Amino acid sequence: MQAGKMRDLVDILAPVGTVQNSFGAVPKLPKKVATVWAEVLELSGLELIRAQKVVAEATYQVKVRWHPAIVGDSAKQVSLAGGKVLEILHVADPEQRWRELVLLCKG
């Protein structure tokens, strides 16, 4: 992992239901659980074909340093600097050493 490639500051969002609406339901609203530096890559060509073996709809790959807020089932979205929000489809720890996470996302 090269720190110089991680030049995008992104927010990790998780759904949190805290306020009951007028219908009595508690909607799951996204809440920022972490802000991390990331390398955001748009998948195309051969990379997209390889990613489809794991997750059929992945269009982005986001690499971040390992963070406890991301590894659980709670993290569901990545918010990019321009306001674009990506849905996290799969989280992988390629080396199983708690150093780097690779998020396959669609947006």
**pLDDT per residue over 34-84, tens digit each?**
999 999 998 875 555 665 565 557 789 999 999 988 887 777 888 998 889
Is 0.85 surpassed by the pTM of this model? Answer: no
Looking at per-residue confidence, does 22 or 9 come out higher? 9
Convert the pLDDT of each residue in 79-101 to its tens digit.
998 889 999 888 988 888 889 99
| pLDDT exceeds 70 at position 17 | no
Question: Chain-centre distance of CA 48, in angstroms?
Answer: 17
Note the pLDDT of residue 22. Answer: 77
Residue 103 DSSP SS3:
strand
- Report yes or no: 18 and 29 within 8 Å, Cβ to Cβ: yes
Question: Nearest 5°: phi and psi at 5?
Answer: -80, -20
Q: Quick: pLDDT tens for 22-44.
A: 777 777 778 898 999 999 998 87
Q: How is residue 58 written in tokens?
A: 């992945």
